[in-house]
Homo-oligomer: A and B are copies of this chain.
Amino acid sequence: MDSKKLYVVGIGPGSEEDMTIRARNTLEKSDVICGYTVYCDLVKPIFPDKEYISTPMMGEEKRVLLALKRADEGVTVSLICSGDAGVYGMSGLAFELKKDFPEVEVEVIPGVTAALSGAALLGAPLIHDFCLISLSDRLTKIELIEKRLKAAASADMVIVIYNPESKSRKGYLAHACDILMEIIPGERVCGIAKNIARADEESLVTTLEKLKETPADMFSTVFIGNSSTKNIGDMMVTLRGYKSEL
């Protein structure tokens, strides 16, 4: 008999074409798809005949427990996450909570996280060493977030900011820009990608001081360049230094 299986699946930015073939095949063979309401609504048109269990934002633990419970009943369950399953995703909680479901095997299917899909829209902002930092202080102290921003800027790493703002967290991106401008110049090339792979997708290459005034929300991903990042024809491009080899 097959083992009881819970898949934690990164669906990428949201369009079917941006899923991996493995993610699409996994959803196809699942009986139940479980996820945050917004992400379930994204995949329902692709897999209309599945059973859906959707829970609202911040119901993460309940959502993972429901998914484990259904998997333990012997049906194949996919717990979906936007972007990747393990980048601010549900895979960690699945491994933590699985101890009460010893027969369920958890398998993670990776996906394209917003740092990668947003980078592709903006040009080539990453290219070399970079950090991902979330500005959400729901589960992380603001002092630690500030410390991480400063550490990354001091070490000249490209910084990708997730969750820059939300309805309840206004002014967080401007605050982060102020902290970064203590270390890096205001003319540093930056970018922002919004609603990646959706109908209202947009991207903008700008500077750190202008970024401070740019509206952002929870569907925005922000890119802070390093000292080698240039604006080349309105694309954000970090140079790696291959020229030196010629």
User: Chain A residues in contact with chain B, CB under 8 A?
Assistant: 10, 12, 16-22, 24-25, 58, 60-61, 84-89, 91-96, 99, 108-113, 116-117, 119-121, 123-134, 139-140, 144, 147-148, 150-152, 154-157, 232-233, 235, 237-246
**A12-B20, A127-B92 known; A116 vs B87 contact (CB < 8 Å):** yes
CA distance A79 to B29 in the complex (A): 32
Chain B nearest CB, measured from A82 CB (Å):
13
Considering the chains assembled together, what is the distance between the CA atoms of A239 and B131 in angstroms? 18
Residue numbers in B under 8 Å from A121 (CB-CB)? 108
Contact B10 A21 (CB under 8 A): no
Are B111's CB and A116's CB within 8 A?
Answer: yes
Asked whether A96 and B155 contact (CB < 8 A) given A21-B17, A246-B61, the answer is no
In angstroms, Cα B128 to Cα A165, docked, is 17
Contacts of A110 in B (CB 8 A): 18, 112, 116-117, 119-120
A89 CB to nearest chain B CB (Å): 7
Question: Which listed residue, B21, B116, B132, B240, touches A19 by the CB 8 Å rule?
Answer: B21
The answer, among B58, B232, B241, B242, for a CB contact under 8 Å with A245, is B58
A169 to chain B, nearest CB (A): 16
Cβ contacts under 8 Å, A243 to chain B: 61
Chain B residues within an 8 Å CB radius of A84:
112, 116, 119, 126
Contact between A241 and B139, CB atoms less than 8 A apart = yes
The closest CB in chain B to the CB of A84 belongs to B116
Chain B residues with CB under 8 Å of A140's CB are 128-129, 241
A112 proximity list for chain B (CB < 8 A): 20, 84, 110-112
- Nearest first, the 8 closest Cβ-Cβ pairs linking A and B are A92-B124, A151-B155, A108-B120, A91-B124, A110-B116, A92-B127, A151-B151, A17-B22
Tell whether, in the assembled complex, residue B93 and residue A242 are in contact, meaning their CB atoms are under 8 Å apart: yes
- CB within 8 A of A126: which of B60, B86, B156? B86
Q: Which residues of B contact A58 (CB under 8 A)?
A: 245
Which B-chain residue is minimally distant from A156 (CB atoms)?
B144
